[in-house]
Structure 1
Amino acid sequence: MSAPARERAVIVHPDARALARATAARLLLALIDAQAVREHVHIAVSGGSVGTEVLGAVAESDLLDLVDLGSVHVWWVDERFVPAADADRNAVQARDALFDRIDLPAENLHPMPASDEGLTLAEAGDRYAAELARFAADGEPQPVFDVVLLGMGPDGHIASLFPGHAGLTATGVTVVEADSPKPPPERVSLTFESINTARQVWLAAWGAGKADAIASALRDEPVSTTPAAGARGREVTLWILDPAAASRTA
């Protein structure tokens, strides 16, 4: 049987609120569909303004009642290596937006290690790789993500994979960044190798400040200068934008 064709599409919503609500609905429908054919569903989420707004919209959606939360596992694509309660942590923001508001089992949340857990940065990356391996099929390094939801910076970075940095070519499941160009400097991130195992990869962005990087990514510019160009789902890649972010894609 041949592998499924990779689909790439650009979806433009009229404004940021519509984008967040529509992406939340799309995510919940993807979970519902996945649960129809798989016992466990795995997603990976990002931080940032877009990711947090989408998670907040999930909490408000009527579709949430149709999801079996007991079978959903949530992972993070990257994390700032700061103390566990630090408001800069993506996981803290995600809990405030969604996960502290719903009945997702605590053991189904898989945040990346924090700096006050007695680990070095390198050990934190290794521990997260080991956690992913615990939920993988035999012989695989990680579970297959049904959806990876990414944001994107104005420089085209995704997760903590930055232009010109060594993490872009890292192999394996996780990579650490000790000198991020935006604070805080220390990060743990999934690699492209990990992200691109996902059935679906969604890149959500809004605002004119990201328009140039989005246009570069959609032209398949080199990953070394536009990391977002390297994010591809095995089956589907969606760019979910507002008009300002999409303004240079024509």
Structure 2
Amino acid sequence: MSEPSRPEPRLVPHEGDERLAWDTARRVLEVLEHAQDERGEATLVLTGGSMGIRVIGELAGHPDAAVIDWSRVNVWWSDERFLPGADGERNGVQAADAWGETHELTWDRVHPVAGSDEIASADAAAEDYAEELAAAAENEGSDTGLPVFDLALLSLGPDTHVASLFPGREDVLRTDAPVFAVEDSPKPPPTRVTMSLPAINSAQRVWLLVAGAAKAGALATIRRPEITATEAPASAVRGTRETLWLVTEDALPGMPEDPDPAPGGTAG
């Protein structure tokens, strides 16, 4: 039986980084509230990157954040750097710093990837994470090996990578495991753990953050209808219910990188 068709991505421009981070945080809160009303809990797959971490900070400080029961929010990571657990370069550590102590999460619902000081290898960390996902799925009464993901929040890399799925690599097409190790990442550090494309695409909603003129080329590439997942991994991310490309206007092709200042003014 063929897979049901998914909605095509919808591009949503924002006037700048601040508006993108704020509006995305508001959208996340709406998804969490709806999921908790519907299922009693909510599940996020989070990302790293400067904008991904910024959104987490905006989420923590948003005036509407109090409507969410944060003790019933599950948190997973689409990828992680295989470094010691407390290393400041890890996505989870940066996210925890951005989150602060404003809202209390339930630790058993937050699922960091094991660090290099906690487990023998990236392969073992990937296997361990897959087992955690399967246990959560079983607890929900699912035999898919994956729990319900209400939202996967991702960032577009300048080379079109997403999570730790990099262009030109056959592992982008892997379907044999929901999580796997990346041993020679073109972006440091070289050793990482990433969700597979099918795991990411199991999410009901997949949102791709695209901020800054430096991402304009990558955004133009993933918008090409003939592009393949191997050529541009981010082009292949799709939610089962919704896919949004949340972008700043300066990332749109054709936008000037350095706009001329207004008459009588100076560039900001």
Deviations 1:70-106 (A, max 9, x none): 2110000000000011110000000000154421111
- Residues 45-124 of structure 1 correspond to what in structure 2 (within 5 A)? 45-98=46-99, 100-124=101-125
Distance 1:23 1:81 in 2: 28
Would you say the 8 A contact 2:6–2:238 is kept in 1?
Answer: no
1:147 to 2:131 alignment: no
Distance 1:162 1:100, change over 3 A: farther
Which residue matches 1:213? 218
Distance 1:239 1:138 in 2: 29
- What RMSD over aligned residues (CA atoms) do the two structures have, in Å? 1.6
Which residue matches 1:192? 197
Distance 1:227 1:184 in 2: 19
Deviations 1:192-241 (A, max 9, x none): 01000000000001111111111111224111111100100011000000
Deviations 1:44-86 (A, max 9, x none): 0000001000001001101110001121100000000000111
Distance 1:164 1:110, change over 3 A: same
Which residue matches 1:19? 20
**Which aligned runs of 4 or more in structure 1 are off by greater than 2 angstroms?**
2-5
Percent of aligned pairs sharing the same letter = 40
Which residue matches 1:173? 178
1:244 maps to amino acid? D
1:233 to 2:234 alignment: no
Deviation of 1:166 (Å): 3.0
Higher Cα Rg, which structure: 2
- Residues 32-43 of structure 1 correspond to what in structure 2 (within 5 A)? 32-43=33-44
Distance 1:149 1:39 in 2: 21
Would you say the 8 A contact 1:152–1:158 is kept in 2?
Answer: yes
Distance 1:114 1:246 in 2: 37
Distance 1:91 1:142, change over 3 A: same
Counterpart of 2:39 in 1: which secondary structure?
coil
Would you say the 8 A contact 1:9–1:238 is kept in 2?
Answer: yes
Q: Structure 1: 5+ residue runs without aligned partners? A: none
Once the two structures are overlaid, the 10-residue window that deviates more, 227-236 or 33-42, is: 33-42
Q: Under a length normalisation based on structure 1, what TM-score does the superposition of the two structures give? A: 0.95
Which residue matches 1:247? 253
Which residue matches 2:259? none
Distance 1:182 1:211, change over 3 A: same
1:86 maps to amino acid? D
Would you say the 8 A contact 1:178–1:185 is kept in 2?
Answer: yes
Distance 1:124 1:5, change over 3 A: closer
Aligned residue pairs, count? 248
1:186 maps to amino acid? T
Once the two structures are overlaid, the 10-residue window that deviates more, 34-43 or 189-198, is: 34-43
Counterpart of 1:110 in 2: which secondary structure?
coil
Deviations 1:19-62 (A, max 9, x none): 00000000011100111111221110000001000001001101
Would you say the 8 A contact 1:145–1:197 is kept in 2?
Answer: yes
